[in-house]
Chains A and B, each alone.
Chain A
């Protein structure tokens, strides 16, 4: 695992996308597309299973001006949270 940033307990998503079972680069591409539909300050939840997303999503957030809020481990998948910048 990478250095993991844990998302706050009270984080609430405005939109959720399912990227479970997908491998690189599809989770990031779907994230990139979905965030276009949100307003600034809204939160996107990405459900994924690819360990590579732990690098890809935070790295992309930094470049694209979004805030990576962290992740939560669930049963058999991970919830990633991105706040649109």
Chain B
């Protein structure tokens, strides 16, 4: 093989076949979420899922108001882009296949999905909108949700240990598409480029805006799948195996994206209250706890569930369906009884109003550094690892 061919093969393998490190995933994720917020809006997951579920209930006649069209609604486009990008990554790396789990996993998927829907309704966002994007949008509720998530994750790990003792499972299988994976990947890539071009070329006012959202979230999906960047892993592994690689990558991603978005808000490029939700209180704490426990049982958080759907994990398809349906119903009930407006979930606290921008970034950095040091120490000592 000529040197040139070898170099081209090396680039292809580096971009499309080999896993990227979690750190690279975290840095790229921070880069793309800052770009997305610069382009139009903060990254999110639940809003899109809820939009799809709203259509389901609207179709059943349960809801009176027609939801926005999924192809012309930014929240929905963010999820479509993520799944699309992750599918391209999975297919090009020959990792796409329909993976059918043992029966018990379906029951877990339904229960976990329902709890994720409830938790994300209480926190007004999942680990993405309620935690990662809340923290980097300088919202106090994000830090509170992090506390809830950590304690929820501990409960989730304890449950999984218990389950292993009492309900051993086996009998899953995979329908493999290894041979045609690269073809599917190329078709999906061409489709993505054509869809983006169609949005940019459309006469609709927000066509270009949505086109940008689609391609940027596809980049997020591609990045997350290639690096297997997973916030469940980041929060769970310190308590399950002691591993801290993903936890450290998440910490670095958080601080990088917070700096980027702080610049956008400080310069009034984006509204200061964007992604600052009235959940600083019981909403973020309890929502985080429920969501944290459920995402461990599900095997995927908001974003992690979607990119695993894209690689063909049937369990996560079930999780996402029940997550979306439940979130839609609970948020519908909240609207009916004005739960959010009445302040039952907590207050909306934009931290720079109290601490200034520098003070807020300092606080976030402090929280992230404490987390980093604790999981690094735990990686050597295993003090936080729960005994099986």
Contact = CB atoms under 8 A, between A and B. Distances in A.
B241 A28 contact: yes
Interface in B117-170: 160-161, 164, 169-170
Interface string B203-219: 00000000000000000
Interface residues of B, number: 45
B18 A1 contact: yes
B173 A24 contact: no
Contacts of B100: 21
Contact of B299 (A3, A25, A64, A76): A25
B101 A29 contact: no
B18 A23 contact: no
Contacts of A30: 164
Given A1-B95, A51-B95, A52-B228, A26 B243 contact: no
For the residues of B in contact with A, the DSSP-based class is mixed
A15 interface: no
Interface residues of A, number: 32
Contacts of B245: 59
B95 A29 contact: no
Given A36-B388, A63-B242, A20 B95 contact: no
A20 B164 contact: no
Contact of B160 (A3, A18, A25, A63): A25
A60 to B, nearest CB: 5
B351 interface: no
A77 to B, nearest CB: 6
A26 to B, nearest CB: 7
A67 interface: no
Interface in B212-247: 228, 230, 232-233, 236, 240-243, 245
Interface string A64-78: 100000000001110
Contacts of A21: 99-102, 105, 171-174, 314-315
Given A19-B170, A23-B300, A77-B174, 19 more contacts: A3-B18, A17-B170, A18-B171, A22-B101, A22-B102, A24-B232, A24-B233, A24-B300, A24-B308, A28-B241, A29-B164, A29-B388, A32-B388, A33-B388, A49-B173, A51-B90, A52-B228, A55-B228, A63-B243
Interface of A: 1-3, 17-26, 28-30, 32-33, 36, 49-52, 54-55, 59-60, 63-64, 75-77
Sorted nearest first, the 8 A-B pairs with minimum C-beta distance are: A21-B172, A18-B170, A49-B174, A21-B101, A51-B95, A20-B172, A2-B19, A23-B299
